């Protein structure tokens, strides 16, 4: 278990840090202003984004998430994780470095499982940052914590597949640049439970695709990317859009989620670090009852608890990254489930304390705290609620003693 940051990581980390100091933090307000001045929050993308993307790409800070050395930076999870933490400090950063979800997951998926043709048509523009994509899995009518509940259909008809179903929480689908969804549905309801699902590429401009509405997270719409409810009615898609083969959907989903969870967790750690930094600065600058807030014991306890929780969550995440790198996604299953329940809760606690230390300012748009809180809260639900991951952790833990139990009885 060697989590040391090697030279490559340290260089990238330094480069990202200075890029963020110079280009990202000072432009967080610019982004909001440009967005608010647009006619519609959804039909345009604030130009600062494309400007910054160009700059980041020119500095080689681009597609860092992709383990593939040719298209990406060729970093292992342990190497990339610390960079993800840096990017997590600003909601703008991931997109600027073309490392934003769900595109990263989609790019990885296409890179791993796509045909040459699929790669050319759908992956390359994503890698170039020219288009965006979404992931259409969650459905409004069933508990998506259990993936076998999915009701959407993908039916073969001649040389096409016919797509039907309603999906929601398709992040990025509102974005005017979003060109396609990776859609999960059932190709065969009679197959064994984990072989019923398939994934297919569905262009969003196709006939029968209707973006019903953007969903909000707490009061945030996350424009211009947004989270969409999308209706698919008899959408016709050529058979070559199917990924990997019929019945492979569940398998792909499993593979897709591992690295993504590490990214999410490290970004949350970055967001929590920023919150703790905000807290520490704020309380040294405000007075109440004749002394700086920083001298109040309760606030000092918040700071200590936050530091301790942050350190632990980071080590746990690095451990998971290390296991993925050295033992593979499957072996790292428990580790990944553990970070999935740890990082969001940790971030919520840290950010909540920072909010409290900021007074009413903390819940407003003047700081990134409330927005990051909402985001972290959502990550206790996205990719399966905490409870599903805890079930899995418990199951693995109990299984260690099963033999023992049987031997005894």
* 168-227 positions binding a copy of itself, by CB under 8 A: 168-169, 215-221
Q: What's the CA gap between 233 and 217, in Å, rounded? A: 26
DSSP annotation string for 199-225: EEEEETTSTTEEEEEEE-BTTB--TTT
d(CA 368, CA 352): 12
Do strands 153-157 and 160-171 pair parallel, antiparallel, or not at all (unpaired)?
A: antiparallel
User: Which of positions 382-401 make contact with a copy of itself (CB under 8 A)?
Assistant: 382, 385-395, 397-398, 400-401
Which residues in 254-293 contact a copy of itself (CB under 8 A)?
Answer: 276-277, 280-281, 283-289, 293
Which own/partner contact pairs does 217-220 have at CB distance under 8 Å and 24+ positions apart? Answer: 217/374, 217/375, 217/377, 217/378, 218/370, 218/373, 218/374, 218/377, 219/374, 220/371, 220/374
Rounded Cα gap, residues 102 and 170, in angstroms: 9
Among 105, 165, 270, 362, binds a copy of itself (CB under 8 A): 362
Q: How far is the CB of 19 from a copy of itself (least distance, A)?
A: 20
Would you say 173 or 299 has its CB closer to a copy of itself?
A: 299
Interaction mask 28-67, a copy of itself, x per CB under 8 A: ----------------------------------------
Residue 3 touches a copy of itself, criterion: CB under 8 A: yes
Q: Minimum Å distance from CB 117 to a copy of itself?
A: 34
Pick 234 or 301: Cβ nearer a copy of itself: 301
Q: Given candidates 13, 164, 166, 378, which one binds a copy of itself under the rule CB under 8 A? A: 378
Minimum distance of a copy of itself from residue 359's CB (angstroms):
6
Binding pattern for the stretch 327-346 against a copy of itself, x by CB under 8 A and - elsewhere: -------x---x--xx----
Residue closer to a copy of itself by CB (options 239, 327) is 327
**What are φ and ψ of residue 400, in 5° steps?**
-60, -25
Closest CA to 197 of 183, 211, 179, 209: 183
Q: Could you tell me the two tokens for 340?
A: 């999935």
- CA–CA gap between residue 315 and residue 319 (Å, rounded): 6
Considering CB under 8 A, how many residues would be counted as binding a copy of itself? 94
**Helix (H/G/I), strand (E/B), else coil: 153:** strand
- Nearest residue (CB) to a copy of itself, 14 versus 288: 288
- Residue 320 CA to chain centroid, in angstroms? 16
63 vs 392, beta carbon nearer a copy of itself: 392
Tell me which stretch binds a copy of itself (CB under 8 A): 17-25, 64-72, 93-101, 358-366.
358-366
137 lies in the binding site for a copy of itself (CB under 8 A): no
Write out the two tokens for 185: 């549905």
How far apart, in whole angstroms, are the C-alpha atoms of residue 299 and residue 315?
25
Strand, coil or helix: what is 278? helix
Q: Which of the stretches 6-14, 239-247, 254-262, 379-387 binds a copy of itself when contact is defined by CB under 8 A?
A: 379-387
Residue 10 near a copy of itself by CB under 8 A? no
The yes or no reply on residue 365 touching a copy of itself (CB under 8 A) is yes
């Amino acid at each position: 278990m060697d989590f040391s940051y090697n030279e490559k990581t340290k260089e990238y980390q330094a480069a990202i840090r200075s890029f963020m100091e110079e280009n990202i933090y000072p432009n967080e307000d610019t982004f909001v202003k440009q967005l608010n001045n647009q006619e519609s929050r959804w039909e345009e993308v604030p130009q600062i984004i494309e400007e910054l993307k160009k700059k980041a790409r020119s500095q080689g800070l681009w597609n860092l998430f992709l383990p593939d050395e040719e298209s990406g930076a060729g970093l292992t999870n342990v190497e990339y994780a610390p960079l993800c933490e840096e990017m997590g400090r600003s909601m703008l950063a991931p997109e600027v470095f073309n490392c934003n979800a769900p595109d990263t997951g989609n790019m990885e998926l296409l890179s791993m499982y796509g045909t040459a043709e699929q790669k050319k048509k759908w992956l390359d523009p994503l890698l170039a940052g020219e288009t965006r994509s979404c992931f259409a899995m969650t459905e409004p009518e069933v508990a998506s914590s259990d993936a076998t509940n999915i009701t959407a259909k993908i039916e073969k008809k001649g040389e096409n597949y016919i797509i039907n179903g309603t999906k929601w929480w398709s992040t990025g689908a509102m974005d005017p640049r979003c060109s396609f969804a990776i859609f999960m549905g059932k190709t065969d309801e009679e197959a064994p439970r984990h072989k019923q699902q398939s994934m297919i590429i569905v262009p969003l401009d196709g006939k029968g695709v209707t973006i019903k509405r953007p969903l909000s997270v707490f009061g945030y719409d996350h424009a211009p990317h947004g989270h969409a409810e999308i209706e698919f009615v008899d959408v016709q898609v050529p058979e070559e859009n199917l990924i990997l083969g019929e019945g492979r959907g569940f398998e792909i989903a499993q593979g897709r989620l591992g690295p993504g969870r590490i990214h999410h967790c490290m970004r949350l750690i970055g967001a929590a670090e920023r919150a703790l930094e905000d807290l520490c600065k704020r309380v040294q600058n405000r007075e109440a009852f004749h002394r700086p807030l920083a001298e109040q014991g309760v606030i000092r306890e918040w700071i200590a608890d936050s530091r301790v929780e942050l350190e632990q969550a980071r080590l746990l995440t690095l451990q998971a990254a290390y296991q993925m790198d050295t033992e593979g996604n499957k072996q790292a299953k428990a580790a990944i489930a553990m970070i999935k329940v740890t990082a969001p809760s940790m971030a919520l606690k840290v950010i909540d304390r920072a909010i409290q230390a900021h007074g009413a300012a903390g819940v407003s748009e003047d700081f990134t705290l409330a927005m990051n809180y909402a985001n972290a809260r959502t990550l206790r639900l996205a990719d399966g609620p905490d409870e599903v991951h805890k079930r899995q952790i418990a199951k693995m833990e109990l299984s260690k003693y099963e033999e023992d139990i049987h031997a005894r009885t």
